[in-house]
Amino acid sequence: MSNTPLDDDLHEAMSRFKAAAQAQPIELPKIEPPAKVLVAFDQSNQDDAVAVAAREVCTRFGATAVLALASPGLDIETRRKHLEAMQAKLAGVSCEISPPQDDEDPADRILDAQQAAGAKFLVLPAPYLENLDKLGRDSVGSTAERVLARATTPILFVREPREGMAGCFGKPLTKLHVRQPEAADALAVGFALCGTAAQFRVLFVVDAAAMTEAAALLGHEVDPAKLTDQALLDDAQAAAGSLVAAAQHWASDHKAALKVDFKIGSDPDVTAREANDGGHLLVLPCPADRNSSAYSRALTVLRLSSVPVLMV
Amino acid sequence: MLLSSESSAFDPAWLPMAVLGVIMLITYLFIAFEKLHKSVCAIVGAIAAVVAAMAFGLFKTHGYHEVHEIIGHDLNILGVIIGTSILVDTVGGSGLFHFIGIRVVKMTGGEPRKLFLFVCILTFLFVSLLTLAPGSLLMASLVLVICRTLGYHPKPYLIAVAIVANSAALTTFSSGIATLMIGTAAEIPYFQFFIGSTPLAFATGAVAFLLLVKLYGKKLLEDASKAGDPVALKQKVAGFDEWAMVKDRRVFRRSAGVLGATVVGFATAQALHVGLDFVAMAGGMAALLFCAGDPEQAIKKVKWPVILFFVGLFVIIGAVKATGLLAVTADALVSLGGGSGTVLVLIIGGFVMLTSGFVDNIPVAATMIPVLDPIAKANPGMAAALFWVLISAANLGGNSTPIGSVSSVIALHALEADRGEKVGWGEYMKAGGLILAVQAVFVLGYVLLMMNLGWFPDLPKYVKG
């Protein structure tokens, strides 16, 4: 299609019906609130922001915060002072102090502390540095990357310290991809964390350049007429039906506000821009396969985001 | 009076009539045979008509400004088209119409005869609410997706959409552009539609459904048996999820509210002493304000070629009217009827049904309005019958050919785009022609019966004199 205005109108209307006709029932997993949340910090200027995020998470889940100081090479007294300072910032939240770890690598310390505490959720800083061109891959910090690469639980990365960060939890933005198995988990964890009072937003991004490249790699010729923005958005909408339906059913059952958006552009850029501009909590599905392109994309989004990012 | 005079002062008087009449005829032929884009045809025709009218000195009172008066007189039609277009695009974006469509399809369980019935009912509903083009487009796309999913052949369903849509355009004042034009010109009160054309909408829709079942019923069942196990198909249909299309529930609910309020607004506009264009514009703007509408996108989606087409058409007809040709035609029609209202209704009904099959029903309606107006003024008792037969014939006439109405053009184009299958004139006319013939008996019978029994309420415009 896409030859005449009538074809375009038909294509647009059909894409919606296709979404309904092709929708497969998706059961969102039931999320048990974690009893313990590991809160890692590193005496940086992000400690306050980590405390705000940890307070939100622990309060919303009714969980105990397990405090772990990730910086190596501190004497016991200094370490105790920092932990007590963090505990004071979390006044009102049940706290435990993680036993000291011997590891040199902060990432090992965090993961070992998590294992020792049996924490099913992580909160840790991932520095947000604006000069991304120069910093490249280091911009979220190597510790955050290594923890992400090895963790098996959701991680909330605290990025730029910002005013009113707690407000982000009231407006989560979940970025989904239609063929990502972790998408349902990301939705469910976002719903469980942010609760029914939040204004949920679900975002799908159509990356035309990536699609063309993938098609070329597979040896498929792409008809440029079919790559109009509207046609791409229509097709994305048709393909996303199952996830949209699952999200809307949850929202309906819990009387929550949920809005679905489809955008076109470079996936990481659009996602990060939408999240940063809107001051959202960004929820991202993160594939278990750390060599996959989806994992690389998720990491790039994390690097570009200045808002807290929850990787599921 | 719109123009300075309905009869030309040019001597000889027949010359401007002939020249403007030829310009109008050539324009209509170009539109009918699609030799040029119809908007271009109409505007070029309008330019030629204005030049001729100026040359013959037809615009005596205001000169060229009479062109603006002609357009201004019909601005309400343009306002309704623009307002409803914005409303439908914005409300449609919420997924409301798609939601209703899928919900209804799920009720059929995929059973072909039930599906066929519900396609007809939905077509009727959507066209009644959204007018012919958007309603047909929505239904054509629904049919394609459902048939593709269930493995049914979409042709019978699409032909049903094409034909039932024309009956639905008779339902209310605002269900079709031709209906709206005639209703506005004749100042027909909204509630009189429930006597004048709504019964015909239901009756002719039922006729269409029954004849289509007769023609395609066997094929529907054959296709369904080829499509596979009915239980599996039923499960497939039950698995459709209408919420998959809804982006924002709050916007969805607000959209339903704005659409409902606009429909109520259309029904009460006359009582509130405002035009339908006011209601349509208010509805369109409410949709943009409260239903997360994208103004740029919605305004871009307005069918501007249709607006240009209308502007051109109004100017041509205004100029022709100024020659007195339409008044002469009206006299000729009355003479042809030999003073009998029954014969006149039959002539008008037959002529309009025939021409609407080949030329867009809009120019036919636009031309016939100024022809019938003087007849109605001279015979107030007949006014209602004349305009009801014009409304019915102009809308249903499109059933006879594959190019006769917007709905058939959309449905057949959808079939061709999706399956690469063309429906020829012969094949279409076998169904459409037969259905129109039976519908014509209903329409003419009903109008004549109501007229002769004096059961049509008087049209206030003509009773006032």
A299 touches chain B (CB under 8 A): no
Q: Pull the structure tokens for residue B196.
A: 């004048």
Choose the mutation target among B106, B141, B148, B418 for the interface with A, i.e. most A CBs under 10 Å: B141
A229 touches chain B (CB under 8 A): no
Name the residue facing A258 among B146, B249, B414 (closest C-beta): B249
Bridge partner residues of A261 (DSSP): A203
Instruction: Give domain limits for chain A.
Output: 1-26+164-312, 31-161
B52 touches chain A (CB under 8 A): no
B141 touches chain A (CB under 8 A): yes
Query: In this structure, are residues B439 and B405 in contact, taking their beta carbons and an 8 Å threshold?
Result: no
Name the residue facing B141 among A14, A257, A258 (closest C-beta): A14
Per-residue confidence band for A217, with pLDDT thresholds at 50, 70 and 90: confident
- DSSP per-residue string spanning B151-202: T--SHHHHHHHHHHHHHHTTSSTTS-HHHHHHHHHTT--GGGHHHHTHHHHH
CA-nearest residue to A2 within chain B is B417
Whole-number pLDDT of residue A225: 67
Out of A46-50, A71-75, A158-162, B395-399, least confident range: A71-75
B101 touches chain A (CB under 8 A): yes
Whole-number pLDDT of residue B5: 43
Q: Pull the structure tokens for residue B433.
A: 């022609």
The average pLDDT across A264-286 equals 93
Alpha helices in A126-180 (DSSP H): 132-135, 142-150
* Beta strands across the sheet bearing A309-311: A95-97, A64-69, A36-41, A121-125, A155-158, A309-311, A281-284, A172-176, A199-206, A257-264
B414 touches chain A (CB under 8 A): yes
Whole-number pLDDT of residue A198: 95
Task: Spell out which residues of chain A touch residue B151, defining contact as CB-CB under 8 Å.
Answer: none
The average pLDDT across A37-66 equals 92
Contact A10 B247 (CB under 8 A): no
The rounded mean pLDDT for chain A is: 87
Choose the mutation target among B241, B407, B409 for the interface with A, i.e. most A CBs under 10 Å: B241
Bridge partner residues of A282 (DSSP): A173, A309
Whole-number pLDDT of residue B146: 95
pLDDT in tens, A170-203: 999 999 988 888 999 999 999 999 999 999 999 9
Whole-number pLDDT of residue A1: 43
Q: Which amino acid is at B18?
A: A
A258 touches chain B (CB under 8 A): yes
Contact A242 B95 (CB under 8 A): no
A196 touches chain B (CB under 8 A): no
- What ipTM score was computed for the predicted complex, to two decimals? 0.85
Give the C-alpha separation, A38 to A63, whole Å: 10
Contact B145 A18 (CB under 8 A): yes
Give the C-alpha separation, B89 to B293, whole Å: 8
For the segment(s) A31-161, the CATH number from 3.30.300.30, 3.40.50.620, 3.40.50.300, 3.60.21.70 is 3.40.50.620
B153 touches chain A (CB under 8 A): no
Task: Spell out which residues of chain A touch residue B403, defining contact as CB-CB under 8 Å.
Answer: none
Name the residue facing B250 among A14, A19, A257 (closest C-beta): A257
Whole-number pLDDT of residue B280: 95
Task: Spell out which residues of chain B touch residue A252, defining contact as CB-CB under 8 Å.
Answer: 243, 249
Contact A17 B244 (CB under 8 A): no
Distance of CA A7 to the CA centre of its chain: 37
pLDDT at A141 over 80: no
pLDDT in tens, B360-384: 889 999 999 999 999 999 999 999 9
Choose the mutation target among A8, A11, A14, A259 for the interface with B, i.e. most B CBs under 10 Å: A14
Give the C-alpha separation, A150 to A142, whole Å: 12
Contact B244 A14 (CB under 8 A): no
Query: In this structure, are residues A68 and A227 in contact, taking their beta carbons and an 8 Å threshold?
Result: no
Contact A20 B242 (CB under 8 A): yes
Contact B141 A251 (CB under 8 A): no
Q: Pull the structure tokens for residue A88.
A: 């004071």
The average pLDDT across A289-310 equals 90
Query: In this structure, are residues B64 and B50 in contact, taking their beta carbons and an 8 Å threshold?
Result: yes
Task: Spell out which residues of chain B touch residue A251, defining contact as CB-CB under 8 Å.
Answer: 249
Whole-number pLDDT of residue A106: 85
pLDDT at A135 over 70: no
Alpha helices in B357-459 (DSSP H): 361-378, 380-396, 406-419, 425-453
B253 touches chain A (CB under 8 A): no
In this structure, how many other beta carbons lie within 10 angstroms of the beta carbon of residue B47?
Answer: 14
A208 touches chain B (CB under 8 A): no
Q: Sort residue A19 into left (φ over 0), alpha (ψ -120 to 50) or beta.
A: alpha
Task: Output the CATH code of domain A1-26+164-312.
Answer: 3.40.50.620
Weakly modelled stretches of chain B, pLDDT under 70: 1-10, 464-465
Q: A281 CA to chain B: closest CA distance, Å?
A: 19
Contact A257 B244 (CB under 8 A): no
Give the C-alpha separation, A300 to A296, whole Å: 6
Alpha helices in A141-226 (DSSP H): 142-150, 183-194, 208-217
Q: B4 CA to chain A: closest CA distance, Å?
A: 41
Distance of CA A116 to the CA centre of its chain: 25
Whole-number pLDDT of residue B3: 34
Contact B245 A25 (CB under 8 A): no
